């Protein structure tokens, strides 16, 4: 059964993604998270646990789009008008932190443009790092934006060490994106 057929038959994106998330965790020992954009935040929907568990980050956690690798990957592919709106919300939520966040966002956009994934190494006071890709569910005006991220401690996962994880996540994205593009319209 192809992934597109599975999507049309009602399989949801987390269900389709989970085996690939587990495979990525097995290969790299990273924790792989699937999160969904909800306004200016990302909401964790599923995860496979690697050699490092982020304390206080069970399924259901929420983070600003600018505070997670998955959120930054999603920001990189949002339509310009939506992206501008989200950047305004992020800036207004904490003006003092905006210069630091703005630099992180600029770096993530440039990185996504050149590699197809985002790597962030300065989360949780520089102790936590992640690589991420976006997945866009639906088509036309009915879209949902997902972030797929592999993460771990910066003592193991430097920006250079995360490049193979980012490449693996791109391969998962390439497998899932065709099915994701028909999912919302198939369930309508």
Domain architecture of the chain: domains with CATH: 3-187 (3.30.450.40)
Q: How far apart are the first and last CA of the chain?
A: 22
Residue 66 · residue 90 · CB < 8 Å: yes
- Sheet of 62-64: strand order equals 62-64, 41-48, 31-38, 142-153, 128-139, 118-123
The continuous run of DSSP H or E covering 44 comes out as strand 41-48
The continuous run of DSSP H or E covering 42 comes out as strand 41-48
Model confidence, pTM: 0.90
Per-residue confidence of the chain (188 residues) as pLDDT tens digits? 455 444 455 679 999 999 999 999 999 999 999 999 999 999 999 999 887 665 556 678 899 999 999 999 999 999 999 999 999 999 999 999 999 999 999 999 999 999 999 999 877 666 788 999 999 999 888 899 999 999 888 778 888 999 999 999 999 999 999 999 888 654 44
């Amino acid at each position: 059964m192809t992934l597109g057929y599975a999507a049309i038959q009602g399989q949801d994106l987390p269900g389709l993604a989970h085996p690939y998330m587990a495979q990525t965790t097995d290969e790299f020992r990273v924790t792989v998270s699937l999160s969904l954009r909800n306004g200016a935040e990302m909401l964790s929907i599923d995860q496979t646990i690697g050699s490092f568990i982020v304390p206080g980050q069970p399924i259901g956690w929420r983070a600003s789009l600018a505070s997670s690798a998955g959120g930054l990957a999603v920001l990189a592919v949002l339509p310009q008008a939506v992206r501008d709106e989200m950047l305004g919300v992020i800036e207004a939520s904490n003006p003092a932190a905006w210069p630091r966040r703005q630099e992180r966002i600029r770096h993530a956009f440039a990185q996504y443009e050149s590699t197809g994934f985002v790597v962030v190494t300065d989360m949780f006071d520089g102790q936590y790092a992640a690589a991420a890709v976006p997945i866009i569910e639906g088509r036309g005006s009915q879209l949902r934006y997902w972030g797929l991220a592999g993460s771990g401690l910066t003592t193991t996962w430097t920006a250079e060490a995360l490049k193979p994880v980012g490449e693996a996540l791109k391969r998962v994205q390439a497998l899932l994106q065709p099915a994701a593009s028909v999912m919302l319209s198939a369930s309508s």
